[in-house]
A and B are shown apart, each in its own frame.
Chain A
Amino acid sequence: MATREEITSGLAEILEEVAGVNPDDVAEEKSFTDDLDVDSLSMVEVVVAAEEKFGVKIPDNEVQNLKTVGDAVSYIEANH
């Protein structure tokens, strides 16, 4: 089981690769859209990469609930 910190840092790696987000800016309270400037197409890439990295399924109807990095961490923590 990965810790919340490990999941956050894994997401930071993906966000850097896909959208050029500085890993130092990635924290649980940050919003993907408003704070990290991740557009809708890049968010799709983040989700697909996160599924692979953490061995989870993130259905499309779940993605709209993942507003912040913390939301994503919680979902991954609960489902992997």
Chain B
Amino acid sequence: MSNVDVVVTGLGATTPLGGDVASTWDAMLAGRSGVGPLTQEWAVQMPVRIAAELAVEPTEVLDRVRLRRLDRSEAIALIAAKQAWTDSGLETAGLDRERLGVSFGSGIGGAQTLLNQDDILEESGPRKVSPHTVPMLMPNGPAAWIGIDFGAQAGVHAMASACATGAEALALGLDMIRSGRADVVIAGGTEAVIHPLPFAGFAAMRAMSTRNDEPEKASRPWDKNRDGFVFGEGAGAVILERAEHARARGARIYARLAGAGITSDGYDIVQPDPECKGGIRAMSRALRDAGLTGADIAHVNAHATSTPAGDMGEIIGIRTAVGAHPVITSTKSMSGHLLGAAGAVESIAAILAIRDSVVPPTINLDDPDDRLDLDVAAHKARPLEIPAALNNSFGFGGHNVALVFTRA
């Protein structure tokens, strides 16, 4: 346990469910799906022709010239970070920028830029390659741009831990504030790689749902008929702030980030440990770090991606590390899998679940897996007093991150 309290004072997101946090959260509580058919020409030849694309295009938010210099993953990271920054009230708080840090990652980074510029190189030669290519494709690009836009001088960090990235970014932000390096950290994750190559790559792994005729039913965590995750794009940003700092400026506080647990499986590059041993250690560490026990956790926002192999291991893990009592959900049933942004967007869902005393639903859980022995908020949002919630994120490579949020 740390004696430095860290709280959440701002939220921002752009997701397949909405262009901001309010619209995303409303869609989640209403049980809406953000998954739809892919209309791009290249999709015709793909075995998977569905995805969870952004509800609001970056072109509706950022100007054309700015967008020429930004990879899509950078653009949406900036959009989410700006929302969170405005939401926090820090814009007018006279924050010392030497006390502002950034911890923001991406699972895959600027792959769209890399691939598009490679097309230009092949077709038109090196002189036509954009001089913005490198800053657009580098994996620290989103974090760096956020740091530049808000003048962060306490350190800018870029996580890369696949689908655990967003959660790991929040965990590092927590460490930065606890260790005294920063008073405020803009933390989160971004992903925007709906492009034929990453798409073909995931399809070749047989990791994605092929329910092409019913896109909105394709993401169905824990359902017997689940057949893979649904590829999504989005960004989520959270303002983490030293509690004393937030209280001194009279900030609105959403919740405390009370603890984090990070572990690695040391097991397989893509398969999760079937007994969820690394996940169990992450959840247990997060609880210890928060000074809580499993009994204190009322709700778990699960990693559950809708893959046949992955979903059930986490159930064993939650039951072992937290207990059989929490009401669990997978908001990926609605948002699709936002990869590097998932941990950030799902943390926002857990934070708002605490604030509004409601668990967002897991849609499409029509025929639960026989081994599902935990209480899922299936189909409909469930009213619930939530003094503390846990969010799980696991990533290719065996990365496990659990975060514990509590009422402020």
B and A form one assembly = yes
4 new A-B pairs (CB below 8 Å) besides A20-B63, A48-B127? A41-B131, A44-B131, A45-B131, A45-B132
Chain A interface size, as a band, is: under 10
The answer on a CB contact under 8 Å between A19 and B65 is yes
8 Å CB interface, B49-90 against A:
63-65, 68-69
The answer, yes or no, to whether B249 is at the interface (CB within 8 Å) is no
CB contacts (< 8 Å) of B63 on chain A: these are 20
8 Å CB interface, B115-134 against A:
127-128, 130-132
Chain B interface size, as a band, is: 10 to 19
What residue of chain A has the Cβ atom nearest to residue B68's Cβ? A18
**Which one of B64, B65, B127, B132 lies within 8 Å of A41 (CB-CB)?**
B132
CB contacts (< 8 Å) of B130 on chain A: these are 45
What is the CA–CA distance of A46 and B207 in the complex, to the nearest angstrom?
43
CB contacts (< 8 Å) of B128 on chain A: these are 48
What residue of chain B has the Cβ atom nearest to residue A21's Cβ? B65
What residue of chain B has the Cβ atom nearest to residue A49's Cβ? B128
CB contacts (< 8 Å) of B132 on chain A: these are 41, 45
What is the CA–CA distance of A57 and B132 in the complex, to the nearest angstrom?
21
8 Å CB interface, A41-56 against B:
41-42, 44-45, 48
What is the CA–CA distance of A45 and B69 in the complex, to the nearest angstrom?
11
Q: Interface readout for A1-39 with B: 1 if CB under 8 Å, 0 if not? A: 000000000000000001110000000000000000000
CB contacts (< 8 Å) of B65 on chain A: these are 18-20
Q: Interface readout for B118-162 with A: 1 if CB under 8 Å, 0 if not? A: 000000000110111000000000000000000000000000000
What is the CA–CA distance of A42 and B68 in the complex, to the nearest angstrom?
10
CB contacts (< 8 Å) of A18 on chain B: these are 65, 68
Q: Separation in Å of the B259 CB from the closest CB of chain A?
A: 43
Q: Can you report 16 A-B residue pairs in the complex whose CB atoms are below 8 A from each other?
A: A18-B65, A18-B68, A19-B65, A20-B63, A20-B64, A20-B65, A41-B69, A41-B131, A41-B132, A42-B131, A44-B131, A45-B130, A45-B131, A45-B132, A48-B127, A48-B128
